[in-house]
Structure 1
């Protein structure tokens, strides 16, 4: 089956599932036994198609990226500074600094940080974009919050508040208005450092011109930094070198009724723990990991109807109890003392990233193994700007 046929079929199944749900909702009844079987069959077919589509789209995106890279190499002006720096950086990855031409060394010196060749180089834009693309797959929270890219890691003072208790007042003619000073806190968004750990590449791979070594190293860096950043910005404890993650900044919480699962009633309690003013924005979501999501797909609401509804391309997003959701694997499974589910307006979350990324090539350290080591550094921090915007579900 071709991709467009699979997309059409998945969309048709999603429409049928929503129609079945709406029919039961209009009649104010639970699914019959036959309808439950139909729903289960359609959900399995929908999930199978979804997996096939994701695999096909991944292959296509890789083909398109390689084609674009090839086209760029053929058509891009060779005289641009960015192009020259990208070529110098690629040569540096393969050969090391000492083997480069004087012109390429000069290009790299222009990108140098710390102690120049010994200290590493800030990577060119194209390489950073490849790393960012790989990181995107691991960052559920990072894909829906505000991302602030800065040129350096200097602390930024930032005001925090909870405006849910503030409101105006009625006054008479010529009556003086009373003061209502907002209660602001202030915290500095820093930029703590994470490394990719050392990535070892054999010299055979480095010297093979058919291998896209830039893409290989970028993907490895993106995977490691993506997973690490996602876990830190979600559950970091703020101790030592760790940042203070979102879960540990949220002050609104509801206790789950079950120790090792999330009940439908828990979702309702969590949702209504957040002020209605925060429940209408475009970035309002439930957030949980894939294990919790699997439970929701099998769950029914108080009327016996499915809690999860599939997306219809271009018409309606997938929802849980009418709200969109985000999968973030950094959130914990339901367990004692853990926060498994978040809800709120994630536009109030600020993810600060230092745009410049440094990479070092460890030439001599693994020479006896005929391998080359690469090490990348990434700096970031996270802040919940409005304490009233997001709530969490805690298990007893």
Structure 2
């Protein structure tokens, strides 16, 4: 079986061939023969992309584990071997607690849990019972927050920070896109132009995973990685709710979504309730000031269904707008712009704000401390042969911009 590197090289060659095909056939040279060859190359690229993505996930897991060991060694000023030993010890405590609660722990392990419970009281400002909250190990929490980045799209392009408290924070804002200097004559005084600064409040909210019921048998089966099972479930639930609200949240008792905070860049002509044209895409891109377009974090964002339609778009010479990236540093583009797939973006429909473009680094996601995980063994679960788990995290998101860094294309109302 070819290595992942060999597959990357194969993909790169196909992408280069696709781009060469486009370069060699401008305007009137593009016909059915060129289109069929283009379609065949794209199909091969998409198949290889799927294979690479699956193998890359395995490599990422291995790399993440090595990174945890190095971080722990650096933090505690110990060797990598000792760091790995301590990490395994933390995992054993955590997994023992997941499987059987506090009663399942050794005296030494109970002391670790007691310390975490005290931290939980200070963090969550709540009482904790004998089977109550557990402030999950830092590595588990970090892995969860990192995996949320892969869920939905917003965390992969937004600016993400972590703070110790969840208090509302005022961030400074200013629009400098129209400011400029001046020519000053000899011995003439300069004029003043004070920047107009403002503030925008950034608020975090408490998110719940909802109850996750785990059968006794699953907890007792040593062959099951219960930690990974829970992390996957938490990632799915917390990832879905946060990404949806970071995308389309109203800002009323919930995060202020990127779509909600974006300005109008282009509105489709009458009849374009479910389509976008090449001209619309170009107009949307140029509705954003070049000061923002030059940013490395400037890109498009849309639903996968929208990408399907965009791949059908052609320029005025009849050539496809979609081009495959040569490698990771040069990703696939539409009309020369990078893009992110976000399944919480509205699909194209009457009045839908279906495409975003701009500097996504102006969208700020703030996570507070760590994830709090509760283990529940009351009768409601016991009667069903289950143990319940419930996680809380605090996070918020808002577009911290007043200069039009992020704009949307809106389909026609009719």
Match of 2:110 in 1: 105
Displacement after TM superposition at 1:307 (Å)? 0.5
Residue 124 of structure 1 pairs with residue 137 of structure 2: yes
Within 5 Å, give how 1:311-390 maps onto structure 2: 311-313=325-327, 316-364=330-378, 365-387=380-402, 388-390=404-406
**SS of 1:6's equivalent?**
helix
Computed over aligned residues only, the root mean square deviation of the Cα atoms, in angstroms, reads 2.6
Unaligned runs of 5+ in 2: 73-79, 121-125
Displacement after TM superposition at 1:79 (Å)? 7.4
Tell me, in whole angstroms, the C-alpha distance in 1 between the residues paired with 2:336 and 2:173: 30
Tell me, in whole angstroms, the C-alpha distance in 2 between the residues paired with 1:68 and 1:238: 36
Match of 1:95 in 2: 100
Aligned length: 391
Within 5 Å, give how 1:206-217 maps onto structure 2: 206-217=219-230
Q: Give the 3 Å change call, closer, same or farther, for CA 97–160 of structure 1 in structure 2.
A: same
Unaligned runs of 5+ in 1: none
Structure 1 moving runs of 4+ over 6 Å: 63-70
Residue 24 of structure 1 pairs with residue 25 of structure 2: yes
Tell me, in whole angstroms, the C-alpha distance in 2 between the residues paired with 1:187 and 1:282: 24
Given candidates 163, 169, 173, the residue that maps to 2:186 is: 173
Match of 1:9 in 2: 10
Q: Give the 3 Å change call, closer, same or farther, for CA 347–77 of structure 1 in structure 2.
A: closer
Which segment drifts farther, 249-258 or 15-24? 249-258
**SS of 1:105's equivalent?**
helix
Displacement after TM superposition at 1:331 (Å)? 0.6
Within 5 Å, give how 1:1-396 maps onto structure 2: 1-4=1-4, 5-25=6-26, 28-29=27-28, 31-59=30-58, 61=60, 75-77=81-83, 80=86, 84-112=89-117, 113=120, 114-117=126-129, 119-240=132-253, 242-257=254-269, 258-313=272-327, 316-364=330-378, 365-387=380-402, 388-396=404-412
* TM-score, normalised with respect to structure 1: 0.91
**SS of 1:300's equivalent?**
coil
Superimposed CA distance per residue, residues 41-68 of structure 1 (whole angstroms, 9 cap, x where no aligned partner): 1111221222233234345556777999
Tell me, in whole angstroms, the C-alpha distance in 1 between the residues paired with 2:66 and 2:291: 46
**SS of 2:23's equivalent?**
helix
* TM-score, normalised with respect to structure 2: 0.87
Tell me, in whole angstroms, the C-alpha distance in 1 between the residues paired with 2:174 and 2:102: 50
Tell me, in whole angstroms, the C-alpha distance in 2 between the residues paired with 1:146 and 1:360: 29
Displacement after TM superposition at 1:279 (Å)? 0.8
Displacement after TM superposition at 1:349 (Å)? 1.6
Tell me, in whole angstroms, the C-alpha distance in 1 between the residues paired with 2:328 and 2:112: 46
Q: Is this contact kept in 1: 2:68–2:139, CA < 8 A? A: no
Superimposed CA distance per residue, residues 238-297 of structure 1 (whole angstroms, 9 cap, x where no aligned partner): 223x21111111234321231112211111111011011111111111111111111122
Superimposed CA distance per residue, residues 273-330 of structure 1 (whole angstroms, 9 cap, x where no aligned partner): 1011111111111111111111122221122111111011266321111111111111
Match of 2:75 in 1: none
Tell me, in whole angstroms, the C-alpha distance in 2 between the residues paired with 1:340 and 1:328: 11
Displacement after TM superposition at 1:345 (Å)? 1.3
**SS of 2:48's equivalent?**
helix
Which segment drifts farther, 315-324 or 141-150? 315-324
Tell me, in whole angstroms, the C-alpha distance in 1 between the residues paired with 2:335 and 2:83: 52
Q: Is this contact kept in 2: 1:361–1:372, CA < 8 A? A: yes
Superimposed CA distance per residue, residues 87-144 of structure 1 (whole angstroms, 9 cap, x where no aligned partner): 3222111111233233222211211213234551221111113312431221412112
**SS of 2:213's equivalent?**
strand
